[in-house]
Amino acid sequence: MAKYLASTGFGLKRPAKLPETPVPPIPKVDEAKSDVASVQYSAYRTGLSNHRTGLSEHRTSLSEYRTDLSTHRTDLSTERTEMSTRRTGMSFQRTRMSADRTLMSVIRTSLSLISFGFTIFQVFEKLRDSGTITHAAAPRNFGIALVVLGIAMLVIGIVYHMQFMLGLRHERHEMAASGLVHAESRFPPSMTLITAFILLLIGLAAIFSMVFQVGPFS
């Protein structure tokens, strides 16, 4: 403990151990001389009082030392509580970033499905238009199915992300109201979510063009 206190700059020294002093022996008095015996007993009681006073002063020093230790532990506990509060706030930010990464994975998968399905559709449509093949219904339907699957996956990912983020914000506000987190840093708009909405619009435009042969991708 002493080494720890020294390392933390808490310059408090434990009171030195009080040397053991024997209790003064009871004096032998001449009972025939009551005045002399009374004086000797008074002197003996004075010695005992001085002995008890020394012990009391040492106990007082120990009590002050324990009080200072308790104060130091309280300060350490306050600092640990503050650090825990900060770590909890950082955990919310890390959770938000993890949710964004999850949505990014959904975007990548959806983009692959939409682009691959649209490519298959366009290739076989061009082959049919050029007369290379006569029937392109099967690959055309397969391409449409891939695009629809990509759009559906993207919609599910967006809905899940929004529900998760709303729940996370609500929990953060409740913990901030309870004083468990500071909530000083704000949640910025999710660029990943904005990108997902843009990709969703592109996917809807693509499937509309594929089915009805009109639009920007027809």
State pLDDT tens for residues 2-46: 444 444 545 556 666 656 666 666 666 666 666 666 767 677 777
What's residue 6's pLDDT?
A: 47
pLDDT of 110-137, one tens digit each? 999 999 999 999 888 888 878 777 777 8
Q: CA torsion sign, 35 to 37 to 41 to 47?
A: positive
Asked if 95 and 195 sit in the same domain, the reply is yes
83 or 189: whose pLDDT is higher? 189
Can you give the pTM of this predicted structure? 0.61
When pLDDT is averaged across residues 132-158 and rounded to a whole number, the result is 90
What's residue 194's pLDDT?
A: 94
Cα 197 to Cα 204: distance, rounded to the nearest angstrom:
11
19 or 210: whose pLDDT is higher? 210
Asked if 24 and 127 sit in the same domain, the reply is no
Query: Which single residue is written with the structure tokens 């599910």?
Result: 156
Residue 82 counted as domain residue:
no
Asked if 182 and 95 sit in the same domain, the reply is yes
Asked if 45 and 140 sit in the same domain, the reply is no
- H-helix or E-strand containing 81? helix 34-129
Cβ within 8 Å of residue 107, ≥6 positions away: 154, 157, 192, 195, 196, 199
pLDDT of 60-106, one tens digit each? 777 877 877 787 777 767 677 677 777 777 787 888 889 999 999 99
C-alpha distances out from residue 149 to 106, 111, 136, 199, Å: 12, 10, 20, 14
Q: What is the pLDDT confidence band of residue 152, given thresholds at 50, 70 and 90?
A: very high
Asked if 145 and 202 sit in the same domain, the reply is yes
Query: CB-hemisphere CA count at 13 Å for 170?
Result: 6
What six digits make up the tokens of 173? 């506000």
**Nearest by Cα to 68 from 143, 139, 24, 2:** 2
Contact call for residues 157 and 197 (beta carbons, < 8 A):
no
Residue 218 counted as domain residue:
no
135 or 191: whose pLDDT is higher? 191
Domain span holding position 99: 88-212
What's residue 174's pLDDT?
A: 82
Cα 187 to Cα 96: distance, rounded to the nearest angstrom:
8
